[in-house]
Amino acid sequence: MLATLIIVFREVLEAALVVGIVLAATRGVPRRYRWIACGIGGGVLGAVLVAGFAGEIADAVEGMGQELFYAAILFAAVTMLGWHNIWMSRHGREMAANATRIGQEVLAGTRPLYALALVVGIAVLREGSEIVLFLYSIAASGGDAPGMLTGGALGLVAGVGAGAAIYFGLQIIPTRHLFTVTNWLILLLAAGMASQGAAFLVQAGIVPALGNRLWDTSFLLTENSLLGQVLHVLTGYTAQPEGIQLVFYLATLAIIGSLMRLLRRQHVAHA
């Protein structure tokens, strides 16, 4: 039971942190719950499908289907996170400057919530498919079903609790500063996902690793520890990164960051 609890908790934690950040970043946006619920629902459905076709995915592309699939969904999420932040740079100031509440709501309503919903869906799909594979294989091999269900349920509750903790933590921030904080969090989230995607591309043999172990900080913080894992999701922390992971991480920060800056400056110039 405990083993199931820990494994399910770890997988749920990653998705729940993403959902917590997205919820915080969409404060005051109409219809956000519907979008995010669609993202979670779609992610769960996708997780079951991916788990069901795991064998087919694995055998595709000369046995490199898993790597390419995970890299593809990670880079899709990076693109959506980037697009959201770039949009915010263009319109965030208008939103803050708009005196009327109705005007603010109209603008907020045009915010690309589909982008964040897709990110939520991808996070849930990715972690969820592992949970489905794991639990299904225990059930199919006649494992301890009641213990598995209890462990799974407790793991889910604990993981969702962690997501709730980051959401309510971010709720303390006043609205005028909130989007600055959430834009930073989303930028780091994107860079971290790009670095994970790069590792899958190395595994598929598409890009060179540029060094297997650029540095090793596992004596300070292992990736398997709770804090290590939270930082892994939030900032892309990797105890022993490959060179290419750092390249993708920094390139993502630079590309999204400079586009945000450019559009903000343009906007100020027009105003």
Partner 1 sequence: MARLALGAALFVLLIAGPVWADDAGIVIAIKDHQFVPSTVEIPAGTKVKITVRNQDQTTSEFESVDFHREKVVQPGGEITVFVGPLDRGSYEFFDDFHPATRGHLIAK
Binding residues for partner 1, rule: CB under 8 A, are 3, 6-7, 54-55, 58, 63, 66-67, 130, 133-134, 136-138, 140-141, 143, 199-200, 202-203, 205, 209, 212-213, 218, 222-224, 239-240, 242
Closer residue to partner 1, CB minimum distance, 103 or 211: 211
Least distance (Å) between residue 175 CB and partner 1: 39
Q: Which position has the token pair 């498919």?
A: 129
Least distance (Å) between residue 219 CB and partner 1: 13
| Euclidean distance between CA atoms 22 and 111, whole angstroms | 13
| Euclidean distance between CA atoms 231 and 228, whole angstroms | 5
Closer residue to partner 1, CB minimum distance, 103 or 205: 205
Closer residue to partner 1, CB minimum distance, 166 or 198: 198
| Euclidean distance between CA atoms 267 and 36, whole angstroms | 29
Least distance (Å) between residue 256 CB and partner 1: 24
Closer residue to partner 1, CB minimum distance, 224 or 258: 224
| Euclidean distance between CA atoms 236 and 74, whole angstroms | 13
Host H or E run for residue 16: helix 2-25
* Chain-centre distance for alpha carbon 153: 22
Least distance (Å) between residue 242 CB and partner 1: 6
* Chain-centre distance for alpha carbon 177: 22
Least distance (Å) between residue 197 CB and partner 1: 12
Closer residue to partner 1, CB minimum distance, 228 or 257: 228
Q: What is the DSSP string of 239-262?
A: SS--HHHHHHHHHHHHHHHHHHHH
Least distance (Å) between residue 141 CB and partner 1: 4
| Euclidean distance between CA atoms 240 and 256, whole angstroms | 25
Instruction: Tell me which residue of 239, 257, 227, 118 sits closest to 162, measured CA to CA.
Output: 227
Closer residue to partner 1, CB minimum distance, 105 or 223: 223
